[in-house]
Amino acid sequence: MAKLLEYNATLTDRVDLTPKLSILRVKPDPSWGATAGQIPDFEAGQYVVLGMNNEREPEKGSVQRPYSIASPPEQKEFLEFYIRYVDQPESDNPLTHLLWPLKVGDRLYLGKKITGHFTLAKTLDPNDPRLKVFVAAGTGLAPFVSMILSYVTRGVSPGQFAVLHGASIPQDLGYRDDLRRLFASLPERYMPTISRPAMAPEWEGDVGRVETFFDDEKLEVLEERLGLKPGELEPGRCVVYICGLYGTIHNTLVRLMKRGFVPNDRLIRKELGLLDLEPTLFFEQYDNEPVLDVKNREAMEQLLAETPFAGRLVSNT
């Protein structure tokens, strides 16, 4: 049985976007390490652990899980999280089932270390002029909200960013109003899309999973909306960040490798013979299925044959 957690934080606010999608604000105790009640510095895009004791079934002990922080580092009063209730959990002690009954004022556990490498600071030169394209599925939007709010707060133009966010229905598009305001002068830099339009006949925006923006037949349209010329969605002009589950990451990665984008994952680059190349596509994955089956040499050869990296796999074996 997992050791019981000593609660060190309080739920100070929650916004229930739907019965199964919420934004939670958590304020740590001074003992957590918050100096004078202030959240310590961290980098936008990082994550921290949340945890609960299972008081309904004490024999199951406690459970912890990492969550990306949606609030920017400049917000010193609380940490914000964008969380979906897991309907079909893999565990018999899922954290979301314990978080969901929480009310404002209730207590929970907050991990004492904010960490993670999925940040602009850890992946790019601070003066890199390329367009940063953020691709998010569902709650994978959280780190990008933190990044954009942080950089805009520091005076960086939102024109350096583009956000492609996919969800099932419009109600699942968290932070939609905030992002529309941020991109008011560049409305095409925020592209929400829904995958179940039959459930939302009033929806007049994009439809399809977020990775379908990168379908071969749609790429030129995407480039035009981003303010790029045909063929300019390439590593010399853009850097791509993806956050979500396997399907979104795999499909986006495969399609963009054809344009010359290099994934940041070291194992993938090593197995494909790309270690000498600069990463230009970064991803944060919320599940465990390998993004590419790099041990399937035949499949990898077929993949590379459609990219500028054809032949590298053979020379690397």
Asked if pLDDT for residue 34 goes beyond 80, the answer is no
Domains of the chain in sequence order = 9-110 (2.40.30.10), 120-315 (3.40.50.80)
Which pLDDT does position 33 carry in this prediction?
74
Asked if pLDDT for residue 148 goes beyond 50, the answer is yes
**For residue 317, what pLDDT band results from cuts at 50, 70 and 90?**
very low
Asked if pLDDT for residue 193 goes beyond 90, the answer is yes
Q: Write the CB contacts of 109 (distance below 8 Å, at least 6 apart in sequence).
A: 5, 6, 7, 8, 9, 49, 50, 51, 52, 53, 62, 64
**For residue 37, what pLDDT band results from cuts at 50, 70 and 90?**
low
pLDDT tens digits along 88-113: 888 889 999 999 999 999 999 999 99
Neighbours of 308 (CB within 10 A): 15
**For residue 149, what pLDDT band results from cuts at 50, 70 and 90?**
very high
Which pLDDT does position 88 carry in this prediction?
86
Which pLDDT does position 1 carry in this prediction?
59
Asked if pLDDT for residue 36 goes beyond 80, the answer is no
pTM value?
0.95
Which pLDDT does position 273 carry in this prediction?
93
Which residues does residue 190 pair with via DSSP β-bridges, in sequence order?
A: 163
